[in-house]
């Protein structure tokens, strides 16, 4: 792990963007005097304006994703780097490489499966050797789902086959950066599949335990959930990687990930809109027109964010070997909830992840890992103290 005698505990790259600015704001209020934190970017004047707006005077460091030497110097100066500069498939690898080589912990907001797989193939071994923890998807993708599934598993018996399903519902506007990343991912589906295959070849599979994703099909759940629609995000991949790494998930573990939809007309509309969005992402001019609707770096005002919210409901149960229903088996319903997922809570989650890596007593892991494996209950406790809710509700 990075030596504590480095100049900084946490450095944030990307503070001049919208979500980066909110992350800087959160650090300014929550980092505390024990944290030596700094802002980094390629434009010193913009960084200075961010600091002035926040009323703080952190060190301002030069770092440019097109300048490997500046990223190397950045990584060697700090224990943890947090970055909001995406789409990560375009801009992210040089910083990952620098952190892996320097033994510096790294957190980001990516929801791009291709980027995560590619970084594993290219930099996991280096990070494992240096002691760096490379933790992707430290925002709404995928902390509520990863830590929520872990919390649900902790309420169920140990040493038995388990099944967990997550149902996601939100009332919020998502960022231009999120839209840009999603469209970029949709436009690179073939490349993403090739990279995923390469990761499977490099990574291999552990013997002795079975971990797999549920085949996602639209269905009527009933009760408060209503309808469940497959949700093609990175979240189930992250949950399953945590399950493969942690024996607490049982000898057999299955996870399914869905959008929580109450009304049938919404189900029908989403069934049409999602394939249309994937198709549009393949057409350069159409993709550019969509991303221009919400420019990266822009976001809703504070009043709009204050009205936004999210809930993720988890149904967990003990199942028979092979995944079938087990009469009389243990069951639990858990929920993770919070405020504005795309901006306010995402900034909070990224900042608390960085602070957790910098300050908390954590499991001894290195290389590319997940929030549940690297931080687990320690990060969950931080988020609960910061206003997010993890609860057993049934």
User: Would you list the DSSP string of 260-285?
Assistant: EE--HHHHHHHHHHHHHHHHHHTSHH
Q: Do residue 20 and residue 46 come from a single domain? A: yes
**Do 135 and 147 reside in the same domain of the chain?**
no
172 burial via Cβ count (<10 Å: 0-12, 13-18, 19+): buried
Within-domain flag for 132:
yes
**Gap between the Cα atoms of 150 and 316, Å rounded:** 10
Judging by beta carbons within 10 Å of its beta carbon (0-12, 13-18, 19+), is residue 221 exposed, middle or buried? Answer: middle
Q: Does residue 371 sit in the same domain as residue 335?
A: no
Q: Could you tell me if 367 and 272 lie in one domain?
A: no
Is residue 147 located within the same domain as residue 270? Answer: yes
pLDDT tens readout for residues 30-61: 999 999 999 999 999 999 999 999 999 999 99
Whether 166 and 242 share a structural domain: yes
Confidence of residue 182 (pLDDT cuts 50, 70, 90): low
Asked if residue 3 belongs to a domain, the reply is no
Q: Provide the CATH number for the domain around residue 85.
A: 3.40.50.720
Residues 150, 129, single domain; the answer is no
Q: What is the mean pLDDT of the chain?
A: 90
Query: CA-CA distance, 138 to 146, in Å (whole number)?
Result: 10
What digits encode the pLDDT tens for the residues 374-394? 999 999 999 999 999 999 999
pLDDT at residue 152, as a whole number: 98
- Phi first, then psi, for residue 79 (nearest 5°) are -85, -35
Question: Has residue 2 been placed in a domain?
Answer: no
Instruction: Answer yes or no: do 93 and 176 share one domain.
Output: no
pLDDT band at 108 (very low <50, low <70, confident <90, very high): very high
Domain membership flag for residue 303: yes
Q: Are 392 and 333 in contact (CB under 8 A)?
A: yes
Considering only residues 75 and 263, tell me which one the structure prediction assigns the higher pLDDT.
Answer: 75
pLDDT recorded at residue 282: 60
CA-based nearest residue to 208, from 152, 250, 254: 250
Residue among 207, 206, 230 nearest 218 (CA)? 230
Listed in order, strand segments (DSSP E) in 129-218 are: 133-135, 162-171, 210-213
**Of 359, 308, 352, 32, residue with least CA distance to 172:** 308
Neighbour count for residue 361 (Cβ, 10 Å): 5
**Any domain includes 43:** yes
Asked, for residue 1, whether it belongs to a domain, the answer is no
Residues 55 and 187 in one domain: no
Q: Answer for the pair 319, 326: CB distance below 8 angstroms, yes or no.
A: yes
Going by pLDDT thresholds of 50, 70 and 90, the confidence category of residue 157 is very high
204 and 297 together in one domain: yes
Output the pLDDT for position 265.
47
Whole domain around residue 372: which residue ranges?
8-139+345-379
Are 298 and 176 spatial neighbours (Cβ–Cβ below 8 Å)?
Answer: yes
Task: Flag the least confident range among 103-112, 197-206, 354-363.
Answer: 197-206
Taking alpha carbons only, the member of 175, 111, 170, 113 closest to residue 137 is 111
If we measure between CA atoms, which residue out of 114, 109, 274 comes closest to residue 192? 114
- Count of domains for the chain: 2
Residues 6+ apart with CB under 8 A from 272: none
Distance CA 165, CA 254 (A): 8
Instruction: Please state the rounded mean pLDDT for residues 210-225.
Output: 88
Same domain for 190 and 105, yes or no, is no
Q: Based on the domain organization, do 48 and 114 belong to the same domain?
A: yes
């Amino acid at each position: 792990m990075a030596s504590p005698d480095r100049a900084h505990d946490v450095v944030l790259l990307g503070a001049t963007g919208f979500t980066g600015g909110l992350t800087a704001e959160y650090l300014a209020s929550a980092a505390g005097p024990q944290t030596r934190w700094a802002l980094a970017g390629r434009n010193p004047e913009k960084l200075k304006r961010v600091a002035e707006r926040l009323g703080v005077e952190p060190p301002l460091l030069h770092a440019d994703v097109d300048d490997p030497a500046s990223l190397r110097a950045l990584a060697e100066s700090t224990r943890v780097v947090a970055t909001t500069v995406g789409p990560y498939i375009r801009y992210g690898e040089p910083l990952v490489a620098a952190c892996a080589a320097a033994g510096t912990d790294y957190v980001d907001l990516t929801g791009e499966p291709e980027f995560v797989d590619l970084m594993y193939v290219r930099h996991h071994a280096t990070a494992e050797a240096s002691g760096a923890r490379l933790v992707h998807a430290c925002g709404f993708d995928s902390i509520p789902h990863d830590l929520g599934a872990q919390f649900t598993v902790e309420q169920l018996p140990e040493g038995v086959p388990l099944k967990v399903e997550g149902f996601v519902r939100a009332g919020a506007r998502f960022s231009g950066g999120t839209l840009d990343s999603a469209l970029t991912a949709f436009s690179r589906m073939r490349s993403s599949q090739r990279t995923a295959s390469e990761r499977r070849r490099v990574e291999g599979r552990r013997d002795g335990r079975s971990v797999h994703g549920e085949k996602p099909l639209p269905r009527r759940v009933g009760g408060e959930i209503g309808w469940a629609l497959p949700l093609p995000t990175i979240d189930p991949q992250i949950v399953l990687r945590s399950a493969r790494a942690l024996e607490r998930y049982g000898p057999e573990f299955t996870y399914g990930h869905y959008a929580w939809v109450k009304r049938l007309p919404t189900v029908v509309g989403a069934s049409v809109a999602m394939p249309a969005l994937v198709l549009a992402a393949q057409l350069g001019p159409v993709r550019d027109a969509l991303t221009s609707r919400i420019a990266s770096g822009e976001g809703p005002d504070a009043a709009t964010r204050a009205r936004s919210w999210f809930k993720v409901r988890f149904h967990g149960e003990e199942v028979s070997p092979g995944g079938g229903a087990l009469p009389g088996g243990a069951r639990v319903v858990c929920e993770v909830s919070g405020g504005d997922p795309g901006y306010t809570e995402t900034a909070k989650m990224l900042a608390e992840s960085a602070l957790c890596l910098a300050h908390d007593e954590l499991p001894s892991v290195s290389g590319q890992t997940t929030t549940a494996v690297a931080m687990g209950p320690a990060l969950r406790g931080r988020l609960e103290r910061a206003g997010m809710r993890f609860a057993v509700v049934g």
